[in-house]
Chains A and B, each alone.
Chain A
Amino acid sequence: MTWKNIEKMIHESWDKKIQKWYAHNANRIYVDIDPKDLVAFSRFLFEDLQARFIIASGVDTPRGVIEIVYHFDFYQLPVVFSLRICLKKPKPEVESLAGIIKGTEWIEREINELLGVTFNNHPDMRHLILPDDWPEGNYPLRRDQ
């Protein structure tokens, strides 16, 4: 499948749900969506478009929201397609993708302990990189701490 086809399919199915489509250049696309559409959109990318999940990155922005960017690519294509969601503090939460994409399990655990984002229905929310006795409610990548 070419990127043109993939782009067309994404627009056809998701145009109404996409809040912002930004192409930094031809191969780097950033798309903002509502957190409640995340699971369905990711399922569409992973199952229907055969996308590959690369990683997610969380950031505590100065605007007071926690932003998570899920990075995907499409195997042999040079395009990185990044889905962005914004979660409100103080209790940011979103549905886990681990049920659809096994490879998201670790990074969701990491974002949970570093930024305090709750991933609902995650199968195994233990600490990943912080010690087990790390104080509750202390999130190293939060700006307000």
Chain B
Amino acid sequence: MSEIIPIGPYHPLQEEPEFFRLHVEGETVTRLDIEIGYNHRGIEKLAESKSWDQVVFLVERICGICSTSHPAASINAMEDLGGIEAPERAQYIRTVICELERIHSHLLWLGLAGHFIGYNTVWMWAWKYREIVCDICEKVTGNRQSYAMFKAGGVRRDILDEDIPWIRKSLDKLKPALDMFKGAVIDDPVIHARTKGVGVLTTRQAKDFCVVGPTARPSGVAIDVRKDDPYFAYGWLDWDIVVLQEGDVFAKAVCRVLEMYESVKILEQCLDKMKPGIVDLKIKELPAGEGIGRAEAPRGEVYHYCLSDGSNYPARYKVRAPSYVNIFSNEVACVGQEVADAALVLAAVDPCYCCTERVIMVDDATGNEKTIKGSDLVKLSQDKTKRIQKSLGL
């Protein structure tokens, strides 16, 4: 008997509205329809009525979690358009902000993934240690989120030298926590049972769907804008990109955990290498032409394209967020999975989530509609973990 289970547009596990229609045969997903557009805010059109300076603030509002990735791509596009090179100290400060954001975004995802499979301890601990990073952000920028630090030609605030020892100390507190999370993910037999071989995206599929970031790298696609097209200070630092081959949910989790170590490495080098100097070129205008800006957000490549007619406003502003390509890949990653795993697979791309208040089950054969709460779907997933724990004698 074939059934359709809609998830969305609002789901307790998701931060942004999107709608998934799961077609199931018994317990197995046979097809997935994805609908987006519930939260389309017309930011590209809005950008045409903002001055270049204001565009940076506008795109900062695209995402609440990776709020600095869009400004990063945006100023890269403007600097590409104007042939501008920001001062060295500004480049280091920008890199610091971007990497702090990557760590707290990955910890946020790890916590949510823990909650999905019924590991609420992982959830609480991940979010507890995320506070360390948010505190650093607050100290450096004045805000825990939406830092408003970037502008074409520099940054708006300097990092004070007297704050640097405190930042280092905070990072030191974070390192043992990362070791703990690494152990919790890599050594746990239940997490292995729940995530290995689940929601596999092959290398070929990853390339066909043009996915990016921690959705592509665990599938053996070695792309990272920070390495491939170095911007800010990334080209001057020593760090590695994390590439895995399996393409399943486990590989995606491991990829994110290992990336946090690289981020700490990058942060420490930035703090070491930062020399006193100016942080802003005070750019007043941009020429006519085209500009392309890329930045590696926690979820993958953010791509901005701007067209200028030489005025103070962009003639066209195009934004491509990483989830735009990553979410689409669920169409193949979800097929063949159990319903209890579907939420986990959809979550594994970290799709800038949204919230569903309830789930409707439609029985195709009878046309009957059965409404179950979103929390029931989470319970389905958590119950599966309990069954595995029981069978493992845990």
Interface residues of A (CB under 8 A from B): 24-25, 27-28, 30, 52-55, 57, 59, 69, 71, 73, 75-78, 80, 82, 101-103, 105-107, 127-131, 140-141
Contact of A53 among B210, B222, B228 (CB under 8 A): B210
Q: How far is the CA of A82 from the CA of B290 in the complex (A)?
A: 11
A2 to B: closest C-beta gap in Å: 13
Count of residues in B whose CB is under 8 Å from the partner chain: 35
Q: Which residue of A lies closest to B37 (CB)?
A: A129
Q: How far is the CB of A111 from chain B (nearest CB, A)?
A: 10
Say which residue of A82, A105, A131 sits within 8 Å of B292 (CB atoms).
A82
Please list the residues of chain B having a beta carbon within 8 angstroms of any beta carbon in chain A. 36-37, 40, 42, 44-45, 80, 83, 207-211, 221-223, 227-230, 289-290, 292, 294, 301, 303, 305, 307, 315-316, 318, 320, 324-325, 328
Residues of B within 8 A of A105 (CB): 328
Q: List residues of chain B with CB within 8 A of the CB of A25.
A: 80, 83
- Residue numbers in B under 8 Å from A52 (CB-CB): 207, 210, 223
B40 with A55: CB separation less than 8 A: no
The answer to whether B315 and A28 touch across the interface, beta carbons within 8 angstroms, is no
Smallest Cβ distance from B210 to chain A, in angstroms? 3
CA distance A96 to B227 in the complex (A): 32
Main secondary structure of the interface of A (DSSP, over half): mixed
Q: Identify which of B221, B229, B292, B316 gathers the most chain A CB atoms within 10 Å of its CB.
A: B292
Chain A residue numbers with a CB within 8 Å of B301 are 54
Partner of A78, one of B228, B316, B320: B228
CB distance from A32 to the nearest CB of B (A): 12
Given A57-B318, A76-B228, A141-B45, does the pair A71, B209 have CB atoms closer than 8 Å? no
User: Contact between A71 and B328 (Cβ–Cβ < 8 Å)?
Assistant: no
List of A residues within 8 angstroms of B315 by Cβ: 59
Expressed in whole angstroms, the minimum distance between the Cβ of A94 and any Cβ of chain B is 18
Measured in the bound complex, the distance between the Cα atoms of B80 and A86 in whole Å is: 23
Nearest residue, chain B, Cβ from A52: B210
7 A-B pairs with least C-beta separation: A103-B210, A129-B37, A57-B318, A55-B320, A78-B229, A59-B316, A102-B208
